[in-house]
Amino acid sequence: MKERVEKFRRVLEKNNLKGIFLTSYENKYYVGGLRDESDDTYVLLTKYNVYLFVDARYYERAIKETEDVKVVLFTRNFYEKIKEVLELEEIKEIGFEDKNMRVFLYNNLLKNVGVKLTPVDLTNVRAVKDAIELFYLRKAVSIVDSTFKQIKKYVKPGLKEIEIKDFVESTMKKLGAECPSFDTIVVSGKNGSMPHGIATNKRVTAGDFITIDFGAKYKGYCSDITRTIVLDKVKNKQMKEIYDVVLNANLAAIKAVKPGIKIGEVDKAARDYITSKGYGEYFTHSTGHGIGLLIHDELGVYLTSEVIIEENMVFTIEPGIYVPGLGGVRIEDDILVTKNGCEILTKSSKKLTIIK
């Protein structure tokens, strides 16, 4: 926890501030140690202390679950409590998360506390993972890999997309997931052209390419995997061609990953390959995103990103091709940056799986 706090203190120094007020779930948990996705708890990080402000609903948990944090109980008036702390710390200006501040909270801090509020960019502060985070992420990934093995045994003609979704999510929970890390995507046949389509009552039939995008949450950390499988046999040669193009784009992007380069180069590797095969216009999203406490952590793998890749960053590589009226393919892996390249955390086979 100390290393995490120091990351945020470097932001204090960079912005010449004495404190940062944290409101997002992910940053409150990362620094304060209490898992709470409500808007009713707050963290104030100063040069020497971390204050966790909670009401009676969270107080006992906060005492039990946190370390090296000053838990501040408030009843009706949170603003009085934070004003007391700021006066104690002799702080007249605090930073706040520029991407996560409610208007009424901002206005009330100005009105009732009288503190100067300065927006602070916290993008990618959590991008490099520590040992505990990597342990939890590996566990979350192992759950989806084990789930994919069960999917291959379960899927058969006649099942509804929604039934496959329900099976995926219940299996992850049986294997140790707290919950899915997002709403599972199951799209088959022509529905596959929708990258984030919703599982429907459509029944899967022989020849369907079925894209399944799912993730498990473990100790708050999210995994994310996509595999596209075929039911019974390949009936459409173009869909097989598309699968091969996406797979090779996935491999090209993974090969490009190494510390010291711009993350945009990873996107470029996948995008250039798909474009060279004539499908560039059908690759309609970025190549990947960070994963961690959020399923879409702020580390984006997109063409214009100039973020420099560092060891122990974790992100997805998920190129896809989506042709309206035909279908789609996406192949997604979770990648850990190593000293000289990367480790593919997701171990599920990417060879085209034909379900007989």
SS (H, E, C) 26-54: HHHHHHHCCCCCCCCCEEEEECCCEEEEE
**Edge-to-edge strand list for the sheet holding 342-344:** 297-301, 288-290, 314-317, 333-337, 342-344
Task: Answer whether 140's CB lies under 8 Å from 215's CB.
Answer: yes
Is residue 315 within 8 A of residue 290, CB to CB? The reply is yes
Residue 76: which pLDDT band, with cuts at 50, 70 and 90?
Answer: confident
Q: What's 131-355's CATH class?
A: alpha beta
Looking at the chain, the whole-number percentage of residues with pLDDT higher than 90 is 96
Q: Indicate the domain borders of the chain.
A: 2-120, 131-355
Compute the mean pLDDT over every residue in the chain, rounded to the nearest whole number.
97
Q: What is the mean pLDDT of residues 76-94?
A: 95
> Where does the pLDDT of residue 61 fall: very low under 50, low under 70, confident under 90, or very high at 90 and above?
very high
Q: Residue 158 region, left (φ>0) first, then alpha (ψ -120 to 50), else beta? A: left
Region 72-90: mean pLDDT is 94
pLDDT of residue 303: 98
* Residues 167/151, Cβ–Cβ less than 8 Å: yes
Structure tokens at 273: 């390959």
Report if pTM > 0.85: yes
Residue 142: pLDDT over 90: yes
pLDDT at 192: 98
Average pLDDT over residues 120-130: 96
Task: Say how many C-beta atoms besides its own lie within 10 A of residue 319's C-beta.
Answer: 29
Cβ-contact 208, 171 below 8 angstroms: no
Residue 104's pLDDT is what? 93
298 pLDDT band (50/70/90 cuts)? confident
What does the pLDDT average to over 293-298? 94
Q: What is the DSSP letter of 307?
A: P
β partners of residue 322: 328
- Domain 2-120, CATH: 3.40.350.10
Q: What is the mean predicted confidence (pLDDT) over 222-245?
A: 98
Helix (H, G, I), strand (E, B) or coil at 112: helix
Structure tokens at 77: 């008036």
Chain segment 1-12, per-residue pLDDT in tens:
789 999 999 999
What integer is the mean pLDDT of 312-338?
Answer: 99
Mean pLDDT, range 69-90, rounded to an integer: 95
Q: How many other C-beta atoms can be found within 10 angstroms of the C-beta atom of residue 295? A: 19
Which two three-digit tokens encode residue 171?
A: 């299996």
- CB contact set of 25 (below 8 Å; sequence gap of 6+): 36, 37, 293
